[in-house]
């Protein structure tokens, strides 16, 4: 299934809902372009990955690159709702130590409020 993105603003935090798969090619490019554009408008972003069923190495690279872009803009990207498969992949690649990960979208949005 191709990647589908939808965005909503919650309490000044941009939530990007991702559905499908994040793989090298069109999907990674779509995510990269959408989030990079969003970073210029709002540098507090939550990627809701609850509907992502597959990520390949290109997708992981995109997530890491987006995190770096957000940090360079003075912002943060947090991950929410990891599926077991995606969570296991982030654990095996040690990326769980790089990203802030939350069990729900609400907890991730809340974490921005607490940090402010």
116 pLDDT tier (thresholds 50, 70, 90): low
The full set of domains in the chain, from first to last, is 4-115 (3.30.750.24)
Spatial contact of 46 and 105, defined as CB atoms under 8 Å apart: yes
**pLDDT by residue (tens digit) across 48-66?**
999 999 999 999 999 999 9
- pTM to 2 decimal places: 0.95
Q: Residue 87: pLDDT above 70?
A: yes
Spatial contact of 52 and 18, defined as CB atoms under 8 Å apart: yes
CA quadruple 97, 103, 105, 109: dihedral sign = negative
């Amino acid at each position: 299934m191709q990647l589908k993105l939808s965005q909503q603003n919650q309490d000044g935090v941009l939530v990007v809902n991702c559905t499908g798969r994040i793989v090298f090619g069109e999907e990674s490019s779509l995510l990269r372009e959408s989030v990079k554009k969003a970073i210029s408008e709002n540098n507090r972003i939550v990627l809701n990955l609850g509907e992502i069923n597959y990520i390949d190495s290109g997708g992981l690279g995109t997530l890491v690159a987006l995190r770096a872009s957000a940090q360079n803009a003075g912002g943060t990207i947090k991950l929410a709702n990891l599926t077991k498969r995606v969570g296991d992949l982030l654990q095996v690649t040690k990326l769980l130590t790089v990203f802030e990960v939350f069990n729900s979208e609400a907890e991730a949005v809340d974490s921005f409020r607490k940090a402010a």
